[in-house]
Amino acid sequence: MALLKAGGSTLLLLMMMCRQSLGQPSFSVDYHNDSFSKDGENFRYISGSIHYSRIPRVYWKDRLLKMYMAGLNAIQTYIPWNYHEVSPGRYSFSGDRDVEYFLKLAQDIGLLVILRPGPYICGEWDMGGLPAWLLSKKNIVLRSSDPDYIDAVDTWMGKLLPMIKPYLYQNGGPIITVQVENEYGSYFACDYNYLRHLTKLFRSYLGKEVVLFTTDGAGLRFLKCGSIQDLYATVDFGPGSNISKAFAAQRYAEPHGPLVNSEFYTGWLDHWGSNHSVVSSVAVAKSLNNILAVGANVNLYMFIGGTNFEYWNGANGPYSPQPTSYDYDAPLSEAGDLTEKYFALREVIRMYRKIPEGPLPPTTPKYAYGAVSMKKLQTVSDSLETLSFSGPVKSVYPQTFIELNQAFGYVLYRTTLPVNYNNSTPLSSPLNGIHDRAYVSVNGVAMGVLERNVALTINVTGEAGSQLDLLVENMGRINYGNHMNDFKGLVSNLTLGNEMLSDWTMYSLSIDEAVSQGLLGVGPTTLTEPPQPAGFSLPTFYEGSFRIPDGIPDLPQDSYIKLPNWRKGQIWINGFNLGRYWPTRGPQVTLFVPANILSTAAPNNVTVLELEGAPCDSTLCIVEFTATPILNATMQSDFQPSRRLYAKEDLL
């Protein structure tokens, strides 16, 4: 400073030019001009949400380019902790989890990045992105100053944030702002010490220059516990909201600085058993126009939703899991298709920003590979030796998934009937402890299904000493609200008649590993399955294969798989877990099949775990690849949907 004064204004100018040409980029909040400031100039972002964890890596570039061509100058993404720290201290950052590569791609394409690294993200993602292994401390208070929670957060952020630091805008990367936590003001704990701790942690790794921010519902009651000094407070709201009222709420927390809607909803989420959410393009376009007209910054949530592959979907409470598709009725469809909404929003953005010139990347072609015959393999009960890598665990009372050291999928609970039950006797979960769905059989005869909140009792019969099996499915952990300590499996005791059942043998099942290693089908098979009077069959694997036709150029292409007359289960193609299907409950009927999992060199293998009953004894035993998705229907409904539509406020 002394030197500058001494050297006069020429030197100052020279220094400033040097700074510019040395490319020391800056990004900050300009409280004076109610704006962001980028490299010394007022800046406004028009951003869209894309979650790399919901899109195969090979498609990241295509989706980002489509976002860029819509006129966006930024993207927003979450980093799901549980996607990367698979068990304490064991990290995964390669392939589809290579977040650094994703950041580089965004920058190459010309998009800035608004990063949301959590630790909690919500996002309709299992447990809101928190790793299930946190629950091994049974009474842990998530998202608070609980030392067990903080220790795990510190370790994770100590790994993640140094990795992110080179990608900050100040350091030559694309990241302009970093969100701390997510909608914390909607959470019961209201623990300012926790937010302060996170702030210190983020600052210690990322430096004092980066803009850190929070996002909360656009109401004073949310901002009260969600905002804190040194974190710039932003709000979220959808097209139904009163914009001036919503931004007035932000002004309560931030009297000056840029207006920011961090989640402007282009569509909405789905739940199994409820109608597919659709939000009209006109409503979204109009509201976006009004937001941009007041000079606000906006992030469109979602710009592309993508897919909850494997077991990654979350759930809302009262327990209501989300389906495999996260299409969200967004401007780019689950498969990255350009929709009417895309073009409508692009026209709005064009009024405020120059749209990049050049052709749009086309909608990716889809191919209907047609029907594939399926053949029956073993039942789950028959394949326990193959599926249970660690062998059974015995205990008097049932243990949860986490106690059994399993996070996702299915566990088989087995015991014997203590006495004769010649007449129909109620098998019950009096404390609603089936988390989340149990497929029940006695001596190889399917008895029915127990389901959390929906079916707490079924009748069974059987003689003393008969084998009672419950295959329990984890359908996704609660990702929002006060009940995220969502233990899975049998989380309370079951009763049969007046007896409490005990002396369990539990099989933790490594189904994904068994499928990808081609282990199914070996070992003993059931001779003849006994008749199944209850209208259910035993959970059973099926397998089929198909070749990609020769002589057609540009195959493989994306597709959708449909399971006509199948009921509920999980599906893999060439060992890749596509997710859950449940056409009988809907609204999702087809599953997205990305081309990158298909092969032209060898037959493609389709593996299905059907939990309730396949069509294979009566009608056609096929699955079918089609070229169009169905996300809004129900095939032969067995279920009365609650008809409950969730608004953000309802989810508290």
The residue within the footprint of ligand NAG, chosen from 12, 370, 397, 547 (CB under 6 A), is 397
Q: Could you tell me the smallest distance in angstroms from the CB atom of residue 150 to ligand NAG?
A: 28
> Closest distance between ligand NAG and the C-beta of residue 80, in Å?
28
> What three-state secondary structure class fits 618?
coil
Kindly report the number of other CB atoms within 10 A of residue 42's CB atom.
13
Report the relative pairing of strands 260-265 and 434-435 from DSSP bridges.
unpaired
Nearer to ligand NAG, 449 or 458 (CB): 458
Taking residues 274 to 313 in sequence order and writing x for each that binds ligand NAG by CB under 6 A, - otherwise, the string is: -x--------------------------------------
What is the C-alpha to C-alpha distance for residues 552 and 54, in angstroms, rounded to an integer?
A: 29
| Residue 605 is a binding residue for ligand NAG (CB under 6 A) | yes
Beta strands in 574-641 (DSSP E): 576-581, 590-593, 604-610, 622-626
Please tell me the distance from the alpha carbon of residue 74 to that of residue 168, in angstroms, as a whole number: 14
Burial (Cβ within 10 Å: 0-12, 13-18, ≥19) of residue 560 = buried
The β-bridge relationship of strands 445-451 and 297-304 is unpaired
Position 518 contacts ligand NAG (CB under 6 A): yes
Q: How far is the CB of 157 from ligand NAG (least distance, A)?
A: 32
Q: Is residue 420 part of the contact set for ligand NAG (CB under 6 A)?
A: yes
Q: Does 492 bind ligand NAG (CB under 6 A)?
A: yes
Rule CB under 6 A: say whether 92 interacts with ligand NAG.
no
Is residue 183 among the annotated active site residues?
Answer: yes
- C-beta separation of 228 from 192 below 8 A: yes
**Which of 337, 204, 318, 334 has the alpha carbon at shortest distance from 269?**
334
Distances (CA, A) of 593 to 269, 325, 557, 598: 20, 11, 9, 9
> How crowded is residue 633: how many other Cβ atoms within 10 Å of its Cβ?
14
Is residue 633 close enough to count as binding ligand NAG by CB under 6 A?
Answer: yes
60-98 burial by CB neighbour count: b if 16+ within 10 A, else e? bebbbbbbbbbbbbbbbbbbbbbbbbeeeeeeeeeebbb
Catalytic residue among 263, 403, 473, 543: 263
Q: Find the part of the chain contacting ligand NAG (CB under 6 A) among 62-70, 95-103, 186-194, 452-460.
A: 452-460
Residues 330-359 that bind ligand NAG (CB under 6 A): none
The answer to whether residue 493 forms part of the interface with ligand NAG (CB under 6 A) is yes
Which residue stretch of 144-152, 182-190, 466-474, 602-610 sits at the interface with ligand NAG (rule: CB under 6 A)? Answer: 602-610
**Residue 242 CB, nearest approach to ligand NAG (Å):** 4
| Tokens 């941009």 found at | 292
At closest approach, how far in Å is the CB of 575 from ligand NAG?
7
473 catalytically annotated = no
Out of 85, 181, 183, 403, pick the active-site residue. Answer: 183
> Which residues in the 13-72 window bind ligand NAG by CB under 6 A?
30, 33, 37, 41-42
Burial (CB < 10 A; 0-12, 13-18, 19+), residue 255, is exposed
Least distance from C-beta 636 to ligand NAG, angstroms? 14
Minimum CB–partner distance for residue 216 and ligand NAG (Å): 18
Q: What token pair was written down for 263?
A: 């989640």
Q: Give how many residues touch ligand NAG by CB under 6 A.
A: 33
Q: Which residues are catalytic?
A: 183, 263
- Interface positions with ligand NAG (CB under 6 A): 30, 33, 37, 41-42, 242, 244-245, 275, 397-398, 420, 422-424, 426, 457-459, 463, 492-493, 518, 574, 599, 602-605, 632-633, 643, 645
